[in-house]
Structure 1
Amino acid sequence: MQGFLDAVTGIASESGFMGIFQNPGYLIMIIIACVLLYLAIVKQFEPLLLLPIAFGMLLANLPFGDIIHMEFFLTESGHPDFVSVLNEGGLADMLYLGVKLGIYPPLIFLGIGTMTDFGPLISNPKSLLLGAAAQLGIFTTYIGAKFLGFTGPEAASIGIIGGADGPTAIFVTSQLAPHLLGAIAVAAYSYMALVPIIQPPIMKALTTKKERQVVMKQLRTVSKTEKILFPIICTIIICLILPTAVPLVGMLMLGNLMKESGVVDRINKTAGNELMNIITIFLGVSVGCTTSADTFFNLQTAYIIALGLLAFCFGTAGGVLLGRVMCWVTKGQVNPLIGSAGVSAVPMAARVSQKVGQKENPQNFLLMHAMGPNVAGVIGSAVAAGILINMLKGCI
């Protein structure tokens, strides 16, 4: 009988319930993970990545599960301890190598490229300026984060949330501040999912009713030759000026060239479907596994969540304000609402521009006009990432 009681006591002391009793933070993180799962499944907020991230968060906060060993990656040298990962690591450790080594985000960009139509941007090159203006949130938040005491690499990783591009945020953070990856990834994808809620109040506050009612002329038709030349020329120009942008911009343009050339239909479909789906699972689960209660619950995380929202709001505002300037310069030919699509949440931000504009004027069809700044924002966030990495890589 005593042996049975000892066995029961031993199981109880080593169970996850005892871990939750010792650190109630695990229970709070499990609840947060369940809320995110609810948003992904029921509300369908960015479900493709929010669901695996949330489930990874759930796994990471089941006490004594040891799903991932971040000490193998957060070493003094800044490089992963490959020997420990290979000898002692589990599945999540292996998957996280793709994040730490910067493999997953460029492959996600490859898939995005196969699904992106740069036609609206080529048809209206001025929309590139709106995509650039929407990166205002990245650099203003970088300055704000440094003011709050974050290091340069940490501030850059927080600021990149303003680009509203999850893979870019993960890429920059994995290079500059991997210890912040969990909080930044959750913030980035949460705000991307909340685009339809966050953006409309800002758009309305910064524009007049008359400006929101502006009807834009139909875009010209873009030739196949232009669509083929665009990714080639973009890659050469951007990557010669900013070599650190090669992984993201290069893969984005390669995917788009595969789509527009029409000569590699088989691998184009693989990159945009099977490969992207596999990488999305690996990326989401491994990033979610970094959000343990041991490292997530602190004042730093609260600052990251708040600064991420600020970055996103400033990015939206930057695009809208430049849209107003363009509206004034063109004497009412540009609807400033399309500036909000300069953040790279494709195509959700463009749909929000369309929805807000049509509510003001039923004759307004802004979707294709907004897609120009929207895809420009994808390029802009990748360029901003390259600039930040180039500036701060040596500071680590």
Structure 2
Amino acid sequence: MLNDFINIIGDIISKSGFVIGEYRHFIMIFISCVLFYLAIAKEYEPLLLLPIAFGMLLTNLPGANLYHPELFITESGKIDLIEVFNKGGLLDFLYLGVKFGVYPPLIFLGIGAMTDFGPLLSNPKSILLGAAAQIGIFVTFICALLLGFSEEVAAAIAIIGGADGPTAIYVTTQLAPKMLGPIAIAAYSYMALVPMIQPPIMKLFTTKKERETVMGQLRTVSKREKIIFPVVVTILICLFLPDAAPLVGMLMLGNLFRESGVVERISKTAENELINIITIFLGLSVGATATAENFLNRQTLFVIFLGLAAFSLSTAFGVLFGKIMYYATGGKVNPLIGSAGVSAVPMAARVSQKVASESNPGNFILMHAMGPNIAGVIGSAVAAGIFLAVFR
């Protein structure tokens, strides 16, 4: 009996992760712990970074078999659902929502329900600032091509410049699924670092006098305008660019829930329970794709570098176009609101306000910055639609 007991213990030890694991698995476990620290101690985008980190931890535990990338990344490009249901683990089933492009649009539904488009409607010129901030995406796309990345991977990397995690995930799953882990982590990391990355760029391209500019009060937007806007935007953008329909359509539907005033229960569900549930599933699924094989390579370093470049360029182009508007209006537009043209809502707008108040404590440009910020959300979805239309 003693021998049997020893054999059982030996068998358990031989199958444990300590024995069958490789050094790469333990490196990834360490990286996931670093992300835990950033999410919990530093509060860097904790709502998504925490589940992403835990998904990364689970997928890299040797022997756990919770995620099987070979079931999704096949030579034919098609998924055998029978194989997934027969051999898949927990994270495989959750990942289906990412692979089929379900989670990111539902996140956009919640964002739309939470967002007031009033500042954009009150100052339509903000659309130009949101559009200018997307230039960084296309400049980075060209740089990625020059570094030898394929068109699909370059597009997925470049979309990080929009500072929109769901959009980056959506484009990557459609064009470069193998790169989902590093791209998603880079996208959400830079979103979390907006208060650190943007201010030096904003100050570099503006003078103290420009930063002190006080902007006039925004006009009041009627309820009718707020109801018509999401319908018109959906029709125009989706007719012109059908590939943007899932993201733009859900964003505008959520906003219509909010502004119509007749579906309060649905609106609250979209901005609370639904988006929270999808955030958990999305984070775990994305983290699961960060396997040691996909993450620990030279490409990941390029993704991190190019992602930072994309985000920095988007900020810079937004500010520079803000300067153009400053001079074109005779000093009536504070160029700092251009930096909010990236779609990190509402963090980028808050950073614009913070930098402006440092130069002029009595200055309040938050609502003005929300206009480009909202335009940036729409702009990043349009940029995603362009990439999908060309390369998918």
TM-score under structure 2 length normalisation: 0.98
- Whether 1:169 and 2:168 are equivalent positions in the alignment is yes
The letter of the residue matching 1:387 is I
Residue 200 (structure 2) aligns with: 201
Residues 1:8 and 2:27 aligned together: no
Moved more, 82-91 or 105-114: 82-91
- Aligned pairs (5 A) from 1:1-396: 1-20=2-21, 23-393=22-392
Distance of 1:291 and 1:19 partners within structure 2: 19
SS of residue in 1 equivalent to 2:362: coil
- Measure, in 2, the Cα distance between the counterparts of 1:313 and 1:107: 28
Letter in 1 for 2:12: I
More displaced, 371-380 or 78-87? 78-87
By how many angstroms is 1:354 displaced? 0.2
Shift in Å, 1:11: 2.1
Q: Secondary structure at the match of 1:311?
A: helix
Q: Verify the 8 A CA contact 1:231 1:253 in the aligned structure 2.
A: yes
Unmatched segments (≥5 aa) in structure 1: none
Q: Distance in 1 between matches of 2:139 and 2:17?
A: 43
Q: Secondary structure at the match of 2:324?
A: helix
1:10 offset after TM fit, Å?
A: 2.5
1:19 to partner: Cα distance: 3.2
Q: How much does 1:61 deviate?
A: 1.2
Q: 2-side partners of 1:284 and 1:78: how far apart?
A: 23
Secondary structure, aligned partner of 1:273: helix
Q: Deviations over 1:208-266 (max 9, x none)?
A: 11111111111111111111111011111111111111000000000001100001111
SS in structure 2 opposite 1:149?
A: coil
Asked if the contact 1:75–1:81 (Cα under 8 Å) also holds between the matched residues in 2, the reply is no
2: CA distance, partners of 1:48 / 1:79: 31
C-alpha distance in 2 between matches for 1:129 and 1:210: 23
Instruction: State the secondary structure of the residue aligned to 1:75.
Output: coil
Give 1:295 deviation, angstroms: 1.8
- The one-letter code sitting in structure 1 at the alignment partner of 2:19 is M
SS at match of 1:345: coil
Displacement of 1:24 in angstroms is: 1.2
Secondary structure of 1:52 counterpart: helix
Tell me how far apart the structure 1 counterparts of residues 23 and 187 of structure 2 sit (CA, whole Å). 26
Q: When the two structures are aligned, how many residues end up with a matched partner?
A: 391
RMSD: 1.0
Q: Aligned letter for 1:229? A: I
C-alpha displacement of 1:269:
1.0
What are the ranges of 5 or more consecutive residues in structure 2 without an aligned counterpart? none
Letter in 2 for 1:232: V
